[in-house]
């Protein structure tokens, strides 16, 4: 089955507990103003891969504590999302699976429940720039972190979550890629520090 992928990364510590495999799906019909990942909105030029190829990448690591699926909007590719979750659960049975979606909790837990079957936790609701805050793993205070399984409860409710002040930088294909959910003001400060160091951005993922 084909899936549109923006990128993958391992190990990631800023999008859930432990050393995680992160998968960003490409394409988003929600397009929240102020989104930090506007580069994942469109589909032209995105990487078309087979779900099985992504799963082969996932099993290539010795240990994976969790799998984070983000985007873009994963539910815009419903069949691919279901296959990806099912494959991750089969190939990494001890890893937790966290899915980000801009859909509402009522939709995800209702008519969209089958799309996240097998996930241990979900983060729902669109990003609202006016409500940007400091909650762990969430960009704005309206977003909900919902545990779906005992493993999800153990890792996302009962245990400490990553500090939002920590973001990761990944350099690939001539680009510096930020991994994480920056707190308010961090991106502006990043721009100022880059300018002070004589660096110029050709473009950023968080500006039109």
> pLDDT digits over 142-182, tens only?
999 999 999 999 999 999 998 876 777 777 666 777 788 88
Residue 46: pLDDT band (50, 70, 90) is low
Does the domain at residues 2-163 carry the CATH identifier 3.20.20.70? Answer: yes
Burial readout 32-51 (b: 16 or more C-beta within 10 A, e: otherwise):
beebbbbbbbeeeebeebeb
Consecutive H or E run containing 176: strand 175-179
pTM of the model: 0.91
Domain ranges of the chain: 2-163
The whole-angstrom separation of Cα 206 and Cα 34 is 7
> pLDDT digits over 176-200, tens only?
777 888 887 777 776 677 778 777 6
């Amino acid at each position: 089955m084909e899936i549109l992928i923006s990128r993958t990364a391992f190990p990631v510590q800023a999008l859930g507990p432990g050393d995680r495999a992160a998968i960003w799906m490409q394409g988003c019909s929600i397009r929240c103003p102020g989104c930090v990942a506007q580069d994942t909105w469109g589909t032209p030029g995105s990487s078309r891969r087979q779900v099985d190829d992504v799963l082969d990448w996932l099993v290539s690591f010795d240990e994976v504590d969790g799998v984070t699926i983000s985007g873009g909007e994963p539910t815009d590719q419903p069949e691919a999302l279901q296959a990806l979750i099912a494959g991750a659960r089969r190939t990494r049975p001890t890893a937790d699976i966290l899915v980000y979606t801009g859909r509402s909790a009522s939709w995800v837990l209702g008519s969209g429940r089958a799309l996240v079957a097998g996930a241990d936790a979900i983060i729902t609701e669109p990003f609202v720039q006016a409500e940007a805050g400091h909650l762990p793993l969430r960009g704005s205070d309206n977003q909900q972190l919902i545990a779906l399984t005992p493993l999800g409860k153990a890792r996302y409710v009962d245990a400490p979550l990553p500090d939002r002040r920590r973001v990761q930088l990944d350099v690939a294909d001539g680009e510096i890629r930020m991994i994480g959910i920056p707190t308010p003001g961090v991106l502006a400060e990043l721009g100022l520090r880059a300018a002070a160091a004589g660096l110029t951005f050709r473009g950023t993922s968080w500006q039109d």
